[in-house]
Every structure is written in structure tokens, then in C-alpha cells.
A and B are shown apart, each in its own frame.
Chain A
Amino acid sequence: MDILYKIFIDPFVQMGGAPDLLVQTLWEGLVGGVLYALIALGFVLIFKASGVFNFAQGIMVVFAALTLVGLHEHGVPAYVALALTIAVMFGLAFTIERLVLRPLVNQPDIILFMATFGMTYFLIGLGELVFGGNPKIMIASELGLPRGAIEIKMLGGFVSLQKIDIAAAIIASIMVTVLAIFFQKTRIGRALRAVADSHKAALSVGISLEQIWVIVWFAAGIVALATGIMWGARSDVSFALEIIALKALPVLILGGFTSIPGAIVGGVIIGVGEKLGEFYWGPLLGSGIESWLAYVIALIFLLFRPQGLFGERIIERI
């Protein structure tokens, strides 16, 4: 009985007892969720357009952030470094298309998945070789990102919001809006959705797969860069960040591999659920449950909706 009380009653008593703490936890979950959502967004973009489960998305985040910081360390002004990093991400997209995607077109999904593992290893090696393996500090203030925190008095206590987190949320929403408009309203966006549906059919109406792939991987690179800046500003830039890519995966099974709104909503659910679980139920199980809690949340959702939150119900035909 005692354990049941601790699971089902006690956490809620705590939440009611200190509402400001609850709000603080929710906010932190939300911000974490936004960052998960951004990584998931990179996955979704690539999966939609090229059917590749891009394991390298996490390392692309680190690689982009590292390039940016590394260039600045070598004396390049912050905004020039930003522009150069964008150029590097374009070069990366182009190279990947040319050396990996094009030779592997029409291969089974798992082979492409493995190829992205290869990319991961390659980028880790390259990044460390060029910029060194030590953790670096993100050049947040040089890029004009705000610092410090806002403290709001509410519910009989304080809730403190980091300005950088607010900026992250705003930038994330702008990016998603821009991407959504791009997909829905432009010619390239339409071509991209066509490619997502069927490579062959898209080819037959004269859409260039190569071009689309470069664009999509470039877009994913930009998303990775933004994620890298945001995440790097909260902690250091190092290859430990790679692990966050694994944390974004439950977001994908929750939101569906092909749904942009799914990535956002899924990210927020996972972020908030994870923080609440860690904070209120964590002490019961010992710490560190963050590492798998997100997966459990996603799996429970999956039991009820195998196609994910926003995936379409699949009618199997034969």
C-alpha cells in the first residue's frame, strides 16, 4: 500500500503543495521538449524526403556547433563564422548526396540507416581531428543571444525563466513556421512532398531527386545548426551532445516519422513527461530514470496508437 501511495498520491500532493515548483518543472520540460522537437524535426525532414532514418542527425548538431565555435576560436567574427558554418552544412549535404545517397539509391532502408552510422563515425573523427575533442563554450552572446534570467512572482513563489530558453522557443517556432510555409506553398516544397510519396513517380514527372535531396539535407543541416547553438548555449559544445539525438528518438515514434506537427507535439510531451517523471517519481526508483523514461512514455502511447500521434491509420491491402 505504501508503494501505491508513493506512486499515485504523493507526487500529486507535492505538485499541489508547491505550484511554483510545478510550473518551473513544466517550463523546463517544455524547453527541453522544444530542443528534442528540433532534433526530431531534422529527422523528419530527411525521412520524409529520402526515406532515410538519419542516425547522423545528432552528430550533425554537434558538428555544426563545433564548426561555428571552432571558426570563431580561429579569429573569424561571429556572424561570418555563422555564414561559413551554413556554407559548411551545404557542403556536407552536397557531399552526402553525392557519395552516399546517390550510390545507394534503391537499397533497402536498413542499408541506408547503416550508411548514416558510417557518416556518424566519420563526422566524429573529422570534428575531433579539426577542432579537437575538448568541450567548448558556445559563442551565444557574440551572436546576440540574450543571457540571464527573468524571475516571475507567481503562485506564492518564484519561477525563473532563462532568457536563452525563451529565445530558443521563439526561434524554434519561427523555423517551424518557415518550413511549413516552404513545404506547403513553394514549388520545391511540392516537389519534395511528391518525392516523399514515391521516388519513381516523382522522377517520372521530371523532379530531380538529387536536387531535392541536397535541399532537404541542407535544411536538416540548418535545423541542426540552430539546435546546436541553442543546446550549446545551455551546456558546453562537445561530443557528449550526441546523446541527445538518442533522446529525440522517442519523440519520433510518438509523433510519427513523417509528421512535422508530430515532432513538435511529441517533443513537448516527451520533454514535459520526462521532467515531471524525473522530478516527482524519480526518487522512488533512484536517479537516472531520464535515460529510459522517454522511451517508456512513447511505448505506452504506441500501444494505443501504433501509427503514432499524427500518422495516418494504415489500411493494409493485399
Chain B
Amino acid sequence: MFYREAGQFKTSYSADESVFPILQDRIGIAVILGLAFVVIPLTATSFTLSSVLIPVLIFSLAAIGLNLLTGYTGLLSLGTGGFMGVGAYACYKLTSLFPNANIIVLILASGFFSAGIGAVFGLPSLRIKGFYLAVATLASQFFLSWCFVRVPWLVNYNVSNAIEVPTRTMFDIPITGPNATPMTRYLVVLSIVVGMTWLASNLLRGRIGRTWMAVRDMDIAAELIGIRLYRTKLLAFAVSSFYCGVAGAMMVFLWLGAAEADSFNINQSFLILFMVIIGGLGSLIGSFFGAAFIWGLPIVLKMLPEFFGVKIHAATVEHLQFMTLGALIIFFLVVEPHGLARLWQIGKQKLRVWPFPY
């Protein structure tokens, strides 16, 4: 009834190719952005900000990064955690090398380091495909994890062998470090994530996005229409790792405040992959859904027994959490293998034809 594109005619191809061709969608996204930038910072508690919203946004960005590679280019990667780590450690080294530089610039710049490393570890993709490639990306994960532990130079020879985030300010407001308020950190994270999502959507709708998807769907045919596979794949690895690297840097500097090598281990890679799959391969909005779901689920599961007033041993709760998470993943895959993004699409379609069934 209210969600219709009837009567909205496009008179130019550029209008037809805009991100939100339907008026209601444009209103919707404006409302969401308004909520995110104005209402939430004013109302949310600092617990909600630092334990829910900030991590979900950061993981969304990492999931977008992996989605560019796995969902759009069809290259399965299990090395996301490692690339996030490269971003985090690069950012740490940059802050110690350039103590006066703007921290946001440094966070974004650290993405270039992981982009470079990502492109190098993407090289096997030129020879191997599918699960063979997935296992090859595990090599990068293990190698990078090992470097984070064994190369003390990366943490400036800290005895704790961990990154300790220094305080950095912008316009005299602390952005990172122990004095930064959750609200500032939230707003910085939100701005970076929104901006980078917008850039990703631009990239995906243009020539580069099409070459990626062409390689995903049928690499041989892609080559025969003039797409160079090695360039396309390496670019996908580089851009994907850039996103993961920025997410990793934000994770340490704007969320955790300190991090050890363990924060970027293989479980992190798997977690991001879950988000991408549950959210929906090849969908930007799905990356947000997936991150929210996978991050939110354990929180909800933890709160449920308390909510019902049931006393269960903490260890048992944890075991039950694992089981529920596992079962829910399988359940979701069975119900909708294309992820939450597809459910969203179906919902929109239903809304469009409402009150008729189709």
C-alpha cells in the first residue's frame, strides 16, 4: 500500500541506476541514518554503544570486506582474521611513527597495508580454485597469526606482547585511548562504516563490480569477453583486505582498546565468514544483518535464562550457547540458504504487493 514504485517514472539512465531508485527506500535510508547519527547517540547507554553497536558496525565492515571477495568474486577466503590483524598492527605502528597525525587518517591508511598483504596472499588464486583456494588462504591466516606472536617489532617490543592503544585526539576531543567516550567512538566508527559502504556500493554497481561477478559466475566466459582474471582477482583480494584491515584497526583502536595476537586468530576468520553466509552472499545489506545476528545471538542467549529466572551453571550456559548457535546456523541454511538478505528482499516484495498475495 505505502511501499510502491507505481507512478515513479525515471527519465534518465542515471536516475535508473541510482542506489535507491524507489522514493520510499530513499526516505527509509534517511530515517535510518537519522536514527543512527542523532537519536542513538543521544539515547543509547554506553553499554549498548560499546558492547553492541560498535562491534556490530565494525564486524559489518569486515563482513562487507569478505563479501566483496567471497560473495561477489566467488573466492572463498578463510584468512579474514589475519588481514584484520594486519590492519590493526599497521595502525599501531603508524601511530608510533607519526604521533601527531590524525588518527582517522591513520586508521584508513592502515587499510593499504592489509590490501598489499592481501594481494600477495591472493596470488595462489591465479592457479587454484574453490576449496583448494580456501585452504591456501588458511596458510595466510596461520602465517600472519604466527607473525603477530613472534615478531616483537610489531608491538614495539612491548613486554605484554599486545597492542596498547595510545590516546589520540581530534579537535581536542579524545577519539582513541581510555579517555574516549563510547559516543565519540561510536560516531567515528559509524561515519567510517557508512562512508565505506557507500564506496563499496559504487564500486559494485560499476564496471569493476561487474567484472568481479562475471569472474564469480563463469571465469572462462569472463576471460573471453576480455576480462583479465589475474587483475580482477588480485584487485578483489586487495579491496577486500583493505576493508578487513580498516575493520581490524577500528576493532583495536575504537572498540577494544588493546589487543593480542589471539584477537585475529582463525576463529575470527570463521566468525566473519558466518556473518557473510548468514547475512547473504553477495549482499551489502546482508553483511549488516549477518553481523548483527551473529554478534547479537550469544548476547540474547546469555540473557535468556536470566530473563526467565532459571539458574543454570555458567559453563552449562556456554555449552548450550555453542549448541544453539550451531543448530541455528544449520536451521538458517536449511530455511534460507541465501541468507537474511533474501528474507529482506522477500519481505519487501510482499510489502510491495500488499494487500494482495502477489
Query: CA separation between A253 and B131, bound complex, in Å?
Result: 9
**Interface contact A100-B281, CB-CB below 8 Å:** no
Query: CA separation between A108 and B282, bound complex, in Å?
Result: 14
Which of under 10, 10 to 19, 20 to 34, or 35 or more describes the interface residues of B? 35 or more
Taking CB atoms and an 8 Å cut-off, the chain A residues in 65-92 that contact chain B are none
| Chain A: minimal CB distance from B173 (Å) | 41
**Interface contact B326-A109, CB-CB below 8 Å:** no
Query: CA separation between A128 and B314, bound complex, in Å?
Result: 13
**Interface contact A107-B337, CB-CB below 8 Å:** yes
A122 proximity list for chain B (CB < 8 A): 322-323, 326-327, 330
**Interface contact A114-B329, CB-CB below 8 Å:** yes
Provide a sorted-by-A list of 12 A–B residue pairs whose CB atoms are within 8 angstroms. Answer: A53-B131, A115-B329, A117-B274, A119-B326, A122-B327, A125-B325, A129-B320, A250-B135, A288-B149, A296-B143, A302-B132, A302-B136
Q: A246-B266, A257-B131 are in contact. Are A123 and B337 (CB under 8 A)?
A: no
Query: CA separation between A316 and B138, bound complex, in Å?
Result: 27
Minimal Cβ-Cβ distance residue in B for A296: B139
Taking beta carbons and an 8 Å cutoff, which residues of B are in contact with A?
70, 76, 124, 127-128, 130-132, 134-136, 138-139, 142-143, 145-146, 149-150, 220-221, 266, 270, 273-274, 277, 281, 315-316, 319-330, 333-334, 337
Q: A114-B273, A125-B320, A302-B128 are in contact. List 16 more A-B contacts (CB 8 A).
A: A110-B277, A111-B337, A114-B329, A115-B333, A115-B334, A118-B329, A121-B326, A122-B323, A122-B326, A123-B326, A125-B321, A126-B319, A126-B323, A285-B150, A291-B146, A299-B139
Minimal Cβ-Cβ distance residue in A for B133: A253
A316 proximity list for chain B (CB < 8 A): 220
Closest 7 CB pairs of A and B: A125-B322, A122-B326, A121-B326, A295-B139, A125-B323, A118-B329, A292-B142
Answer whether residue A156 sits at the interface, using C-beta atoms and an 8 A cutoff: no
A288 proximity list for chain B (CB < 8 A): 146, 149-150
Which of under 10, 10 to 19, 20 to 34, or 35 or more describes the interface residues of A? 35 or more
A155 proximity list for chain B (CB < 8 A): none
**Interface contact B127-A306, CB-CB below 8 Å:** yes
**Interface contact B325-A121, CB-CB below 8 Å:** yes
**Interface contact A291-B127, CB-CB below 8 Å:** no
Answer whether residue A150 sits at the interface, using C-beta atoms and an 8 A cutoff: no
